[in-house]
Amino acid sequence: MVAKMNPDLKKERENASFDPEKITNFLYGGQESVKRKRELESLALNDPDYQHEDLNFMSREQQYETQLKKGILMVTKMKELKITSAQDQLFYTSAVLVSDVHPMSVHTRMFLPTLYGQATEQQKDKWLKLAENYTIIGTYAQTEIGHGTFVRGLETTATYDPKTQEFILNTPTLSASKWWPGGMGKTSNYVVLMAQLYIYGKSYGIHPFMLQIRSLEDHKPLPGVTVGDIGPKFGYDVMDNGFLSLNNVRIPRENMLMKYSRVEPDGTYVRPPSTKLAYGTMVQVRAGIVMFSGMNLAKAVTIATRYSCVRRQSEMKPGHPEPQVLDYVTQQYKLFPYLAAAYAFWLTGQTMMSVYTTSSSQISKGDISVLPELHALSAGLKALSSSMANVGMEECRLACGGHGYSHASGLPRLYTNATPASTAEGEHVVLMLQTARYLMKSYNQSLQGEKLAGSVAYLSGVQLVPAAGRTRNMLDLGALCDAFRHRAARIVGEAAAQLRSEMQGGKDQADAWNASSVDLTKAAMAHSQYFVVKTFAERLTDSRLDSSISAVLTRLCQLHALHGLVTNSGDFLEDGYLTGSDIRQARRHINALMAKLRPDAVALVDAFDFPDGILNSILGRYDGNVYQHLLEWAKASPLNKTDVHQSYHKYLKPFLEANRAKL
């Protein structure tokens, strides 16, 4: 029996102004790609071997085991099914894993890429095949218990012993223990270890070493190796993030990954050609996080928007039926800005990826001139997008009321698994300050008459404040981009002035930087927001977009810009660039845009094209049959195995009986 669609959702879909399929094609880069995505997803979701069990009902240990089993099966099947391209693997794995990870995820995401990127040819011959065939399983061990974002602060040492041609590995203090690497606690038998290289007492900084940590015979930790799981966390329950301490573990000289830096048998150190080469990978990882943030927001708003059409609440007019929650303007104001942000970051992530791809061919030819700008841009965008996603996912959860709090909504798990993006791969503020450093450098260059290019070209001239009384059309995307550009340029200028005045006040460069860092962060944020607004607007000029799509996407872009504008209105008012009446106009436009977007809201989230199996949310079901599935799910919960729980016999019964006897 085909389940019937909830009538409210059905009506929403009938009344949309456009065909969501057209936007789906736009978002995934064409019809062919969408078709392939759906094929791979249904292959994964309909494969009975996976037994897609509900992780919410399991202890952490059960979750780890279940997902390890699934990960192993998935790796095997991908080989059998010859799913090889990165894009295909992404579609397939996110359907198998239901948006979660598995204990060997870091093997694919970090261990293999590090071997590809940093091993010499001989080293590749030795290890690549073993790693690609999962004869060895590895992870990437960089973060330590006392050291994170600041890589130069790592304490683990690799001391070269020329007599035996070996490195001696040690975590000399408690705070040097490796801490956090995914899959290291129980699963991996190898790691790439990042350690401070010492030769004849001299330190050469951080280098990668290939290290076996567990026996290939019985999986026991090797001598000198202490390894284990770091304990339960907010999310990532399925992952055995691990700790590792090393006590005089010796590895052959050939285990240092030597594509760039080398240590000769006699202990001679050979420098890498450029220290900036590693930036390329970072840019790619960060662009990936922008995309990931957009997708997570997209999932959260899909769930919250669909549920807000199914849920009816309160009495708007006496005697009338309870309205759909999405008819409340306050509910629209919670969700639609994040719907718009999901589109904004989705498109920004794509743009970043394609800029990276273009420039990586340049880089591989040795031209690294674009790297500093790309690096600065990607840092700010990663920080902006992950923090917006953090706040937005929680806003969506809260917008689902009490039911959002249940694991049945899928929102708590989505949040707890996605929130590390704010602190992992570079902490938010540290990244914003990296962007700010580049902005300050560029701004100073422009003051000295240099012409700036790329994403910072606008810093060359801060626009004049327009004369008072000028009227503006606050819906015009050009005017909105101008406003964001002006704001960014002004705040960059102010941060630079602040920095200068701190130095003039007698502080040294480092203290002045610290004293100005709140303003610097603000500048980097404004710069990144400008880039996102501009990118969104530019993507809409794509001539392949038909008019129905382009109309609704333009509204989203306007909403995204206007919402950013009114929530930061002080930044635009402070120097008189906008007036109080502009801001009031902006607020009225937001209300009007939301009213226009209301009938298209469900179609706009349908266009993200997440199948139920990936959303994994009862509230966000495509068919909207929320309540009966909520009850069925609850009944399957472990506490309901028996009508009377065992704790009654153990604790409640004696307690109640004793109390009764005392009466």
User: Which segments are annotated as binding site for FAD?
Assistant: 143, 182
Our answer to whether residue 425 is catalytic in this structure is: yes
The torsion region of residue 492 among left (phi > 0), alpha (psi -120 to 50) and beta comes to alpha
The catalytic position among 132, 254, 395, 425 is 425
Using CB under 8 A as the binding criterion, the count of chain residues that bind a second copy stands at 143
Torsion over CA of 113, 114, 118 and 123, rounded to 10 degrees? -90
Shortest distance in whole angstroms from residue 457 CB to a second copy: 26
Binding to a second copy, residues 246-305 (CB under 8 A): none
Q: From the list 162, 267, 420, 613, which residue makes contact with a second copy (rule: CB under 8 A)?
A: 420
| CB-nearer residue toward a second copy: 229 or 482 | 229
Touching a second copy, residues 166-205 (CB under 8 A): 174-175, 177, 179-180, 185-187
Give the DSSP letter of residue 183.
T
Contact code string over 427-466 relative to a second copy, x by CB under 8 A: xxxx--x---------------------------------
Stretch that binds a second copy, among 33-41, 270-278, 441-449, 625-633 (CB under 8 A): 625-633
Q: Which of 313, 360, 445, 460 binds a second copy (CB under 8 A)?
A: 313
Among 145, 384, 456, 459, contact with a second copy (rule: CB under 8 A) = 145
Q: How far is the CB of 161 from a second copy (least distance, A)?
A: 28
Min dist CB 233 to a second copy, Å, is 5
User: 311: closest CA among 400, 409, 393, 395?
Assistant: 400
Q: Which residues fall within 8 angstroms of residue 515, CB to CB, at 6 or more apart? A: 502, 507
Q: Cβ of residue 651: shortest distance to a second copy, in angstroms?
A: 5
Nearer of residues 248 and 647 to a second copy, judged by Cβ: 647
Q: What is the dihedral of CA 67, 72, 75, 79, to 10 degrees?
A: -150
Strand locations in 240-314 (E): 242-246, 249-252, 262-263, 269-270
Question: Which residues from 16-75 bind a second copy, rule CB under 8 A?
Answer: 56-62, 64-65, 68-69, 72
Write down the least CB distance from residue 155 to a second copy, Å: 11
> Does 162 contact a second copy by CB under 8 A?
no
**Interface residues for a second copy in 567-606 (CB under 8 A)?**
568-576, 580, 583-584, 587, 590-591
Instruction: Tell me if 128 sits within 8 A of 119, measured CB to CB.
Output: yes
Residue with tokens 């009031």: 584
Question: How many angstroms separate the CA atoms of 136 and 69, rounded?
Answer: 17
- Rounded alpha-carbon distances, angstroms, from residue 119 to 36, 231, 265, 361: 33, 32, 17, 20
CB of 49 to a second copy, least distance (A): 14
Of residues 346 through 405, those in contact with a second copy by CB under 8 A are 390-391, 394, 397-398, 401-402, 404-405
Using rule CB under 8 A, residue 319 touches a second copy: no
SS3 assignment, position 199: strand
Range 623-628 contact pairs with CB under 8 angstroms and sequence separation of 24 or more: 623/3, 623/4, 623/5, 623/6, 623/9, 624/5, 624/6, 624/8, 624/9, 624/306, 624/309, 624/310, 625/3, 625/4, 625/5, 625/6, 626/6, 626/307, 626/310, 626/311
| Residue 517 near a second copy by CB under 8 A | yes
With CA atoms as reference, report the closest residue to 241 among 176, 194, 180, 178. Answer: 180
> Taking CB under 8 A as the rule, does residue 479 contact a second copy?
no
Question: Which residue stretch of 17-25, 162-170, 248-256, 510-518 sits at the interface with a second copy (rule: CB under 8 A)?
Answer: 510-518
Is residue 647 involved in binding a second copy (CB under 8 A)?
A: yes
CA nearest neighbour of 409 among 301, 303, 293 = 303
**566: contact with a second copy by CB under 8 A:** yes
DSSP 540: T
> Which one of 13-21, 145-153, 191-199, 347-355 is the stretch in contact with a second copy (CB under 8 A)?
145-153
In the complex, the smallest distance separating the C-beta of residue 269 from a second copy, rounded to whole angstroms, is 21
Shortest spacing between CB 372 and a second copy, in angstroms: 20
Among 77, 109, 407, 598, indicate the residue that binds a second copy (CB under 8 A): 407
Cα torsion 530, 536, 542, 546 to 10°: value is -150
Among 84, 85, 314, 547, binds a second copy (CB under 8 A): 314
Give the count of beta carbons closer than 10 Å to the beta carbon of residue 3: 12
| Residue with Cβ nearer a second copy (360 or 517) | 517
CA neighbor of 579 nearest in space, from 412, 411, 453, 467: 467
| Of the residues 4, 35, 202, 233, which one makes contact with a second copy according to CB under 8 A | 233
Looking at the Cβ atoms of 83 and 626, the one nearer to a second copy is: 626
Restricting to residues 110-129, name those near a second copy by CB under 8 A: 129
Return left, alpha or beta for 169; rule: phi > 0 is left, psi -120 to 50 is alpha, else beta. beta
* For a second copy, the closer CB: 359 or 422: 422
By CB under 8 A, name the one of 219, 250, 271, 470 that touches a second copy.
219
Strand partners, 160: 167
Q: Which is nearer to a second copy, 142 or 455 (CB)?
A: 142
Phi and psi, residue 425, nearest 5°? 55, 40
Q: Does 423 help bind a second copy (rule: CB under 8 A)?
A: yes
Segment contacting a second copy (CB under 8 A): 161-169, 275-283, 505-513, 601-609?
A: 505-513
Residue closer to a second copy by CB (options 187, 535) is 187
Please say which residue, 233 or 500, places its beta carbon nearer to a second copy. 233
> How far, in Å, are 23, 193, 559 from residue 593 at the CA level?
19, 52, 7
Helix 371-399 with 329-364: angle, nearest 10 deg: 160
Nearer Cβ to a second copy (180/343)? 180
Q: Distance (Å, rounded) from C-alpha 346 to C-alpha 251?
A: 44
**Active centre residues (catalytic):** 425
